[in-house]
Amino acid sequence: MAKRRVAILISGRGSNMTALIEAAAAQDYPAQIALVISNIAGAGGLAKAGAAGIKTETIESKPFGKDRESFERKLNDILVAHDIELVCLAGFLRLLTPWFVRQWDGRMLNIHPALLPSYKGLHTHERALADGVKIHGATVHFVVPEMDSGPIIMQGAVAVHDDDTPDSLGARVLGVEHRIYPDSLRLVASGQTRLDSGLCKIASTSPDATLISPSIS
């Protein structure tokens, strides 16, 4: 099977982008990172992608002001011109219009630093700590017009410690993000996912695993 051509959209340093690029370097990985696009000139991730031999583009969003769709039409033209099949959002700091999301329905992934549907939006680690949750984590999902609401592909969890700060908790969650995003893209690119009534079904599943926090010996 030919590798699926993937574009990653970034706005900053691109740590999840780097995890995807490193995973896609494996010969048996079913996707190739063909393009990285930033909406901010000089974003740190652009240099990393270039160093990995990946083509990069910058489409600055600022000149478009509030005309989000015009920006997205230019973005879409570049994706189509590069024969992109799947799009991964990796710290892309833009709210996408329903028009753009429709163009990539079932073909655009995002990663969110919380166990959706809990803690949609920003400041997820602060909110989780304020609520006293014992388990927190990250979610990879398909993108739909409603923010942080698409079908869930994969989730990873960490235990929350009593002495956690947003930074310490966020660092552990980031480690989980770097594991589940490449695995999610692998599932989608290899055709092991299907959308059914707004839910993502996985063809192959791993044995059941349980995370209980706090654990009592």
Q: How far apart are CA 46 and CA 55, in angstroms?
A: 9
- In this predicted structure, the answer to whether residue 41 has a pLDDT above a threshold of 90 is yes
Q: How far apart are CA 103 and CA 92, in angstroms?
A: 17
Q: How far apart are CA 185 and CA 142, in angstroms?
A: 11
Residue 15 annotated as lining a ligand binding site: yes
157: left (phi over 0), alpha (psi -120 to 50) or beta: beta
Residue ranges and CATH numbers for the domains of the chain are: 2-200 (3.40.50.170)
Residue range 174-195: mean pLDDT, rounded: 98
Residue 93 annotated as lining a ligand binding site: yes
Over residues 134-144, the pLDDT tens digits come to 999 999 999 99
- The confidence score (pLDDT) of residue 76 equals 98
Of 112, 125, 136, 141, which residue is the catalytic one?
112
Residue 156 annotated as lining a ligand binding site: no
Over residues 66-97, the pLDDT tens digits come to 999 999 999 999 999 999 999 999 999 999 99
- The confidence score (pLDDT) of residue 1 equals 75
End-to-end CA distance of the chain: 48
Residue 14 annotated as lining a ligand binding site: yes
- The confidence score (pLDDT) of residue 216 equals 84
- The phi, psi pair for 68, rounded to 5°, reads -65, -35
Look over the chain and give the mean of its residue pLDDT values, rounded to a whole number: 96
- In this predicted structure, the answer to whether residue 208 has a pLDDT above a threshold of 80 is no
**pLDDT bracket for residue 211 (50, 70, 90):** confident
Tell me whether residue 112 is one of the annotated catalytic residues.
Answer: yes
